[in-house]
């Protein structure tokens, strides 16, 4: 019977661990370089009231556009190869005490990698859930799909590389470079530990090619993937682009708990829990 020794494997102390399991965390910390990436970006107009309903205050809607990015990342250190994800974004503005931040808020986000899901949720607060995602070229058309629980909740199409375009054109309605998310983490007694609006910027972006053309989107209702809350009213531009970028840490835009801190003693938390 074979025996094994710990050898050179380092098991960090809890104070030094970045995740669990402590000797093999599901996700590491930024920075990370995403390479060999291709993205299909589909834009459509929806009901402005639908966007307002999904934006947590104090964020303000910028326009009536929904931007859906179906992506394949060829290589992500620490995560793997050919990782697919779908980020649903709406334009949002945050008015701070000393500055105004415009970016893309993510009400929904689907991935097919547990490492991507855990890292996005625990670090950035992205609302990532698991789904089957594909990005392919079939004949003369780009097709992006999100399938969850046997339902094609989203299908987007665009003609294969119809017209050369620019990344600035893609960013003109909604800017994916600055991504805003609602990060919520609760204590074990169910009281809130973190409730923040976070923001992060993509850096060192290289655009290898970018094409633009008309697009279509199809959204099917699902109780657990409620993209139907942002119904398509008019198809806008689609973009197919290849890119590389670095994902680094971000910052807190707004802390909901900063001005409403309650007694954090164990007794107070136990009392709060017992009243639930």
Say how many C-beta atoms besides its own lie within 10 A of residue 246's C-beta.
16
pLDDT tens by residue, 77-134: 777 788 999 999 999 999 988 889 999 999 999 999 888 888 888 889 999 999 999 9
Range of lowest pLDDT (33-47, 68-82, 193-207, 227-241): 68-82
Question: Beta partners for 180?
Answer: 105, 199
Length of the chain: 276
Largest CA distance in the chain: 66
Whether the per-residue pLDDT at 44 is higher than 60: the answer is: yes
pLDDT band at 270 (very low <50, low <70, confident <90, very high): very low
Whether the per-residue pLDDT at 271 is higher than 90: the answer is: no
Counting residues of the chain whose pLDDT is more than 90, the rounded percentage is 71
Torsion of CA 179, 218, 73, 130, to 10 degrees: 80
Whether the per-residue pLDDT at 262 is higher than 50: the answer is: no
Q: What mean pLDDT do residues 229-252 have? A: 95
Range of lowest pLDDT (9-18, 58-67, 144-153): 9-18
pTM (two decimals): 0.88
Range of lowest pLDDT (66-70, 119-123, 221-225): 119-123
Query: H or E stretch including 54?
Result: helix 48-54
Whether the per-residue pLDDT at 1 is higher than 60: the answer is: no
Q: What is the structure's pLDDT at 135?
A: 98
What is the rounded CA–CA span in Å between residue 252 and residue 35? 27
Q: What mean pLDDT do residues 37-53 have? A: 98
Match 């971000």 to its residue by tokens: 250
Question: Is 178:100 a contact under the CB 8 Å cutoff?
Answer: no
Range of lowest pLDDT (46-50, 52-56, 78-82): 78-82
One DSSP character per residue, 156-201 reads EEEESS-EE--HHHHHTTS-TTEEEEEEEEE-TTSSEEEEEEEEEE
Planar angle of CA 162, 157, 67, nearest 5 degrees: 95
> Taken in order 40, 44, 50, 52, is the CA torsion positive or negative?
positive
Q: What mean pLDDT do residues 67-82 have? A: 88
pLDDT tens by residue, 249-260: 899 999 999 966
- Give Cα 268 distance to the centre of its chain: 35
pLDDT tens by residue, 168-201: 999 999 999 999 999 999 999 999 999 999 999 9
Q: What is the structure's pLDDT at 272?
A: 36
Q: What mean pLDDT do residues 40-49 have? A: 98
Range of lowest pLDDT (116-120, 210-214, 238-242): 116-120
Cα-atom radius of gyration of the chain, to the nearest Å? 20
DSSP-derived letter for residue 220 is -
- How do 234-247 and 178-186 pair as beta strands? unpaired
To the nearest whole number, what is the mean pLDDT of the chain? 90
């Amino acid at each position: 019977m074979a025996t094994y020794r710990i050898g050179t494997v380092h098991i960090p102390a809890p104070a030094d661990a970045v995740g669990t399991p402590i000797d093999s965390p599901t996700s590491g910390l930024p920075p990370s370089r995403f390479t060999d990436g291709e993205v299909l970006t589909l834009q459509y107009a929806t009901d402005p009231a639908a966007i307002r309903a999904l934006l947590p205050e104090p964020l303000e809607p910028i326009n009536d556009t929904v931007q859906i990015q179906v992506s394949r990342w060829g290589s992500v250190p620490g995560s793997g190869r050919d990782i697919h994800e779908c980020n649903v974004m709406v334009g949002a503005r945050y008015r701070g005490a000393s500055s105004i931040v415009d970016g893309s808020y993510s009400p929904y986000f689907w991935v097919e990698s547990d490492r991507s899901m855990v890292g996005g949720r625990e670090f950035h607060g992205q609302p990532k859930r698991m789904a089957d995602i594909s990005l392919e070229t079939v004949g003369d058309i780009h097709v992006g799909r999100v399938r969850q629980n046997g339902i094609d909740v989203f299908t987007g199409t665009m003609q294969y590389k119809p017209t050369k375009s620019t990344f600035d054109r893609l960013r003109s309605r909604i800017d994916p470079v600055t991504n805003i998310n609602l990060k919520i983490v609760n204590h074990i007694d169910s009281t809130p530990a973190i409730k923040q609006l976070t923001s992060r910027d993509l850096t060192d972006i290289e655009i290898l090619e970018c094409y633009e053309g008309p697009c279509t989107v199809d959204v099917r209702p699902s109780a657990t993937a409620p993209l139907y809350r942002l119904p398509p009213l008019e198809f806008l531009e689609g973009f197919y682009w290849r890119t590389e970028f670095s994902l680094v840490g971000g910052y807190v835009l707004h802390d909901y708990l900063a001005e409403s801190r309650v007694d954090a003693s164990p007794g107070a938390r136990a009392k709060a829990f017992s009243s639930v």
